[in-house]
Amino acid sequence: MLERGTVSGLLTGCAAIVVAHDDGDCTALRSLAQRVGFGLVTSLSQSGDLAQRLPFFLVHYGMAVATKKHVLAQLRGASDDNVRFAPIVLFVPDGPSDEMLFYIEMGFDDVICLPDKSHILEARLAAQIGQERRFIETKTYLGPDRRRMETDRHGRARRSVDYEHTRLTIIRQPGVGVRIVHRELFLKTL
């Protein structure tokens, strides 16, 4: 049975961990997380034991770009797969598409423009769990596979993909955590 307040009932088994520059921004993200139905809402400094909840990191746009990159690096570099592969979602005001593309390429799982209706936010967040997701790991990047962004509008590659990398297929499930279901290593061709 689906729980009231969520599109899929899945978010009740998840913990929203808000990451923001100041208390006001943190409060705004906490309110949003509670409104869309997360089972637990906390901040990064107070996350501690998540008691079998799948973590979601909700990041506020108000932090400097360097800070956002640092947060991504810290989370993606964690030893716990539930943190390394957790959804990391950036919330931004509606803005130019170039800015959204910049953050997507940076490695956020999703970039959501606010304001938006609660049911749309719920659906976007719930889409991060319960289905296979492809991740790429290189020497300098661990995050969602962005190969669809590697071509221009005419289908030509924007850059070479001749580099060593690992392609991981993961599933994020509340109550279970993150599972790596497939791993492929691609070696650089000489």
Q: How many CB atoms lie within 10 A of CB 83?
A: 20
- Token look-up 């034991």 returns 49
Determine the pLDDT at residue 120. Answer: 87
- Averaged confidence pLDDT in the chain: 83
- What CA–CA distance (Å, rounded) separates 6 from 88? 19
Q: Which of 73, 43, 78 is nearest to 57 (CA)?
A: 43
- According to DSSP, residue 63 is labeled S
Q: Which two tokens stand for residue 187?
A: 């070696």
Read off the pTM: 0.84
Q: How many CB atoms lie within 10 A of CB 147?
A: 12
- According to DSSP, residue 45 is labeled G
Region 134-163: mean pLDDT is 67
- According to DSSP, residue 187 is labeled P
More confident residue, 2 or 8: 8
pLDDT at 7 over 60: no
Q: What radius of gyration, in Å, describes the C-alpha atoms of the chain?
A: 17
Determine the pLDDT at residue 114. Answer: 84
End-to-end CA distance of the chain: 54
For residue 6, name the pLDDT band (cuts at 50, 70, 90): very low
H-run or E-run covering 82: helix 81-84
Determine the pLDDT at residue 10. Answer: 64
